Chains A and B, each alone.
Chain A
Amino acid sequence: NAGVMQNPRHLVRRRGQEARLRCSPMKGHSHVYWYRQLPEEGLKFMVYLQKENIIDESGMPKERFSAEFPKEGPSILRIQQVVRGDSAAYFCASSPTFPDRGPALYGYTFGSGTRLTVV
């Protein structure tokens, strides 16, 4: 596993269903970040997690969205009762340690994203 793995790459859900997006960080990375990208826009921070802890969820909508990063297994971004406005690309990034000088120095790497379409 050379990089951050996200699956599925594409996800279609009907309004009201649940969406579960998975992110496996790079080997040795214990910090995970989730970002959302709407069409024609940049990425917006959602949540920062370490193993079993949510460190910063200031970008997460207060309702319907949750994230976890268990001791074993991938990080999960869960969206309950999806609405059309949730349609977006969701990107996960990982880093090996708390980035004191910026994520790049410590290998802050993005996955290829999950494109969620709500119909």
Chain B
Amino acid sequence: GQQLNQSPQSMFIQEGEDVSMNCTSSSIFNTWLWYKQDPGEGPVLLIALYKAGELTSNGRLTAQFGITRKDSFLNISASIPSDVGIYFCAGQRAGNNRKLIWGLGTSLAVNP
């Protein structure tokens, strides 16, 4: 099945640094979502994007829906230890609103 190309696969950063990760697809998406998953838990929605070019913030998190509708990025500013976890992008293709297609995740480790 299709998956999104998410990079980087993992990151190890110092507390206070900014983080950037992105997702790309060969298909056009009409929705991009960014989730965070803590160990042993289900994904929790961070940011949802619905329009090409849309830039949305949630606290220290900022995400953008690419103009081509085939990519999205997530930035985390001034990282803190509780940012540790796996971040997933997910998207919905135009005309198919029932399924989410997922990236493989970016594992983030923050050194205090």
Interface residues of A (CB under 8 A from B): 4, 33, 35, 40-45, 48, 55-56, 58-59, 91, 93, 98-105, 108, 110-113
Of A44, A104, A108, the contact of B102 (CB 8 Å cutoff): A44
Closest to A6 in B: B42
Of B1, B30, B42, the contact of A59 (CB 8 Å cutoff): B1
Chain B: number of interface residues, binned into ranges: 20 to 34
Closest to B46 in A: A104
Min CB distance A2 to B, Å, is: 13
Beyond A42-B88, A43-B88, A59-B1, whether A103 also contacts B42 by CB under 8 A is no
A43 touches B100 (CB 8 A): yes
B33 touches A104 (CB 8 A): yes
Complex alpha-carbon distance, A76 and B102, angstroms: 23
B45 touches A108 (CB 8 A): yes
Closest to B99 in A: A45
Q: A44 — which chain B residues lie within 8 A by C-beta?
A: 1, 102
Complex alpha-carbon distance, A104 and B41, angstroms: 18
Complex alpha-carbon distance, A112 and B88, angstroms: 16
